[in-house]
Every structure is written in structure tokens, then in C-alpha cells.
Structure 1
Amino acid sequence: MTLHFAKAAELLIPSLFHGFGVVIQATVLGFLLATVLGMIIAIGRLSTIKIVKGILYLYLELIRGTPLLVQLVYIYYVVPLLLNLIASMFGFKTNIQIASVTAGILGLGINYGCYMSEVVRAAILSIDKGQTEAALVLGFGKYEALFRIVMPQALRSIIPSLGNYLVMMVKDTSLLAYVAVNELLLRTQNFASQTFLTIESYTFLAIAYLIISIPLSYFVKFIEYRLKDK
């Protein structure tokens, strides 16, 4: 059996470069969505309103109890059908569809937002309550004290953890191939099925993810090191 890495490199690598753009887009937007959702859920779970805490608890159990791949497939295939069904119940004829990249971003954001919320909540609880009490005495409102005093300190402490989630999200973008997102894995699968250069194709795919993940991991470690010095 002869391996043809040079041929695979010539034909596949240009396609993988285009796939990098999709991975970056899905990662950046998914991470931003996850961060916002994580903060909202964390603050909601610290609320004294029982119904809010109950709804968020059920949401977390639902997301943590199902795999990311199932969530992506559900958002891409099932949610549009449900929306069309609901619209038909009110007499509207619709053909709602969700773009594959949009479904991928939503899936990543919702899934990671669930786990990041626990990190944010723990960070908020780790801040001395005396600081909040002092802020209230000085005339700050409850939420003003949270966002101006507590949250900045909490976010600073969780930056390394958020960085690790970012690296994990980059690697999980490979799952977007199952909802027809033309990212690195799907491009490689298509190329391998057409050329039968299976070993060469998936070797370059692995290298492509390493090219993204390793520098990003070292950048996260650098940020963590700098934060420890301050």
C-alpha cells in the first residue's frame, strides 16, 4: 500500500484553509453566546425568586443530560418542524428553516453556556459578601453592586477556565459536520470518499486541529500566568 501525502496535501489543504474560516466563525460566535448565557443563568440561579431558579435548574438538567451532538441535530432538524407545526395551529403556513451554521452556533452556545454558568456562579459566590454589603451601605443598588463590584472580580478569576472552554469548543466544532456545516471534518470526509486517500486525509485533519488548538492552549496558559502575577 502506497501513501500519497503530497497529492493529498496539494488537493486537500486549500479546502481546509476555507474550513478554518467556518471553524473560527462558529467558535467566536458560539463562545460569545455561551458567555452571555452563562452569566444570565448564573445570576438567575442566585436569584431569590424560586420559579426562576426552578426553571433554570430544569434547563441545566436537560442540557447536561443530553449530548451536544443530539442537541445540534435537534436544533437543526426538529426545531424548524416544531415552529412550522405551531404556526399551522394558528392558521399560518410557514416553511421555517435554520441555516446549518446558525444551528451550530446556537448548539455550541446553549451547551457551553450551561457549563460556563456553573463556573460564573461559583466565582460570584467566592467573592466576600462583605464587599456587597459595603457597596449597599455606600448607596449602590443590589444589581449595581453585583455588576460594578462583584462581577469584575469574578470574571477576572475565571478567565483561565473560560479559555479552556474556548479550546474545547474549537475541537467540538467537528460535530457541526453532522448538521451539514462545511467545516474541517465534513470537507475531509468528502475528500476522502472521493479520492480514497483516507489515511492521508484524516492525518491532515488532525494536524489542522492541532494547528488551532495548541497555540490557543498556550495563549490561555500565558493569560493565566499573567493574571497570577497581578
Structure 2
Amino acid sequence: MEILSHLDFSTALNELTPELWQGLLIALEATVGGFVLAVILSVLLAVGRLSKYKFLRGILVVLLEIVRGTPLLVQLVYMFYVVPLLVSLIVQFFIPNYQFQLNPLLAGILGLGINYGCYLSEVVRAAILSIDKGQTEAALALGYTRRQALWSIVIPQATRQAIPVFGNYLIMMIKDTSLLAFITVNELLLRTQAYASQTFLTIESYTILAIAYLILSLPLSQIVRLLEKRSSKHA
């Protein structure tokens, strides 16, 4: 009870809010960049999984198993700390003493995009397979090639079907941007940690942080529900 009597939410809110605004902008930048990359990768991976080339399908299956079988945090740390070392070692065969560095935010965007792209690829692949094959046959009859039919007719429809699921993954990605604190991205969590360690307003700081994530995710959740209702009506 003595701890509760010393809580100072008003001070924490006034002092932490400007920091959270700046962290929010970085988190949104990481989310937008990561999600755009994830959507592009998901379509490419899904098309690759449906390819007639067995070797390509095998490589993609191995890639998907590696990404889905390891934690996102480990992938982010690997992207930020290990990948630059590997690139430097390879390039040093051609350019001595070359040192490659990866911006923390860029590393976070790449890590989020690759991770979510692999998961979303299964969503896109299932959506592509759900499209009536008669549409492809009709396109071929009209003079389309199989590639043109896939990219002009099938994939646009499959992407529209997958939009509600994409929305759920977008909400997850916004919350997962908190993991970027572990690779020194100065987003919401890292700023809150720094403030709490300086002021010792631990309960107040992390409570405000949790509320900030709720304010971000709840409106998006409602939008996703509306999209799901609209898609079910048009199904």
C-alpha cells in the first residue's frame, strides 16, 4: 500500500508523452516499411511455392521452415549483429578492410518484413488456391498466358480475399516493434526503459506504455473486424 501512495502518474505522463510520440513515429515507420516488404515477399513466396520447378519449391520450403522455426527476436538480433559481419567477410575478398554496417531501423524493417512475409505467404498461397480454376481457363481462352492470368486475374482476387488476415498481422507487427529495442532502435519500449531507469517511476512508465499500445491496436482491430464483415458479405 505504501508503494501505491507514492505513485505519480501525472508526472510520468507529462514527462514521458513527448518521448512516446517520438518513439511512436519510429515504430510506425518500422511497421509501414516492414509490412510493405512482408506483403511483397508473401506474394513472391506464394507464387514460388506454386511453381512447377521442384528445386525452387524445395529451397523455399527450407527457407520458410527456418524462419518459422526460430523466434523473431533471434532473427532481428541475427540481422543486426551477424549479417553485417558476414557481408563484410565476403566483400573483403574483393575490397580489403571493408566494413559493412546496417542501420538499426533498417535491420528491424528487414527482420520484420522477412519474418511476416514468410507467414503471410501461406495466407496468400491458400487464397490463390481458393480461386476457381475456371477463371484461369477462361483467361487462357481469351489469349492470356498463364503468367498474365496469374498476375492480372488470380493474384488481385487472392490479395483482396486476404486483406482481413493481413490486417490482423499488421496489428501483430505494430506490437512486435517493441522487440526492436533489443537492436537499439529508439522506439517506444527503449524510450520507456530509459525514462523509468532515470526517474524510478517504473509502474507508471510501463503502465503508460501498455496503454499506448492499446490505443494503437484497438482502433485497428475494429477496422479489421469491419473488413472481415464486408468480405464475408461479398463472399
TM-score range, shorter chain: over 0.9
Equivalent residue, structure 2, for 1:135: 139
1:54 corresponds to which of 55, 58, 82: 58
The whole-number CA distance in structure 2 between the counterparts of 1:229 and 1:111 is 31
- Select 2:92's aligned residue among 88, 91, 96: 88
- Residues 164-214 of structure 1 deviation map (CA, whole Å, 9 limit, x = unaligned): 000000000000000000000000000011111000000000011001000
In structure 1, the residue matched to 2:218 is 214
Deviation at 1:91, TM superposition (A): 4.5
Partner Cα separation in structure 1 for residue 156 and residue 8 of structure 2: 53
TM superposition score normalised by structure 1? 0.97
SS in 2 for 1:119: helix
Residue 172 of structure 2 corresponds to which residue in structure 1?
A: 168
| One-letter amino acid of the structure 1 residue matched with residue 162 of structure 2 | I
Equivalent residue letter for 1:207: I
Q: Distance in 2 between matches of 1:160 and 1:219?
A: 9
Aligned residues: 230
Tell me how far apart the structure 2 counterparts of residues 86 and 74 of structure 1 sit (CA, whole Å): 17
1:70 aligned to which of 71, 74, 92: 74
Structure 1 unaligned regions, length at least 5:
none
Q: What displacement does 1:92 show? A: 2.5
Identity of aligned residues (%): 61
Aligned with 1:33 (options 37, 40, 52): 37
SS in 2 for 1:47: coil
Distance 2:11 2:98 in 1: 47
Q: Aligned partners of 1:9 and 1:91: how far apart in 2?
A: 51
1:227 offset after TM fit, Å?
Answer: 2.7
After superposition, what is the alpha-carbon deviation per residue over 1:93-132, rounded to whole angstroms, capped at 9, x for unaligned? 2121100000000000000000000000000001111211
* CA RMSD, 1 decimal: 1.0
Q: Given residue 55 of structure 2, which amino acid in structure 1 is its aligned partner?
A: I
Poorly superposed stretches of 4+, deviation over 3 Å: none
Asked if 1:151 is matched to 2:155, the reply is yes
SS in 2 for 1:229: helix
TM-score, scaled relative to structure 2: 0.95
Could you tell me which amino acid in structure 2 is paired with residue 67 of structure 1? P
Residue of structure 2 equivalent to 1:15: 19
The one-letter code of the counterpart of 2:30 is A
